[in-house]
Amino acid sequence: MMSKIYLAYGSNMSVEQMAHRCPEAKLLEVSVLPGFRLAFTGAPNRSYATIQKDDTRQVPVLLWEISQTDEASLDRYEDYPNFYEKAEIELNGQTVMYYYMVKQYGLGLPSEEYYNIIAAAYDKFDFDKTILERALKESQNVIKS
């Protein structure tokens, strides 16, 4: 069985959600992805996490080992390739796969429930919560203007 390393930065950092969505997934590593920023994009009041290139920022991430079955499940959940695209990047000496939102969506606000799932993962893994709060604030500023 071929496995991949999947980089999660949003709601898929929830161990509970991943256990349900990807029963064969194994948490490999807690890490940080340099050169990217966290953002919420999509509809103005129904946005989801994505990462965007930014040399001045970094994003806390989890690395999961996933099976082909798990990847197919994630593809459905992420509405790949309509809503999210896939790419690969080198991190900590290994090639990892991640999803990112397609370009035509602007910044918007996530639902409170969705945001709280990500916030709980930040707490659980002791990530710097100002990164998450900054992404939300940047969306709020765009919505206000």
The answer to whether residue 78 is catalytic is yes
8 is in an annotated binding site: yes
Checking phi first, is residue 43 left (phi over 0); if not, alpha (psi -120 to 50) or beta? beta
84 is in an annotated binding site: no
10 is in an annotated binding site: yes
9 is in an annotated binding site: yes
Catalytic hit among 29, 65, 78, 85: 78
**Which sequence positions are flagged as catalytic?**
78
Q: List, as residue ranges, the binding site.
A: 6-11
Q: Return binding residues for substrate.
A: 6-11
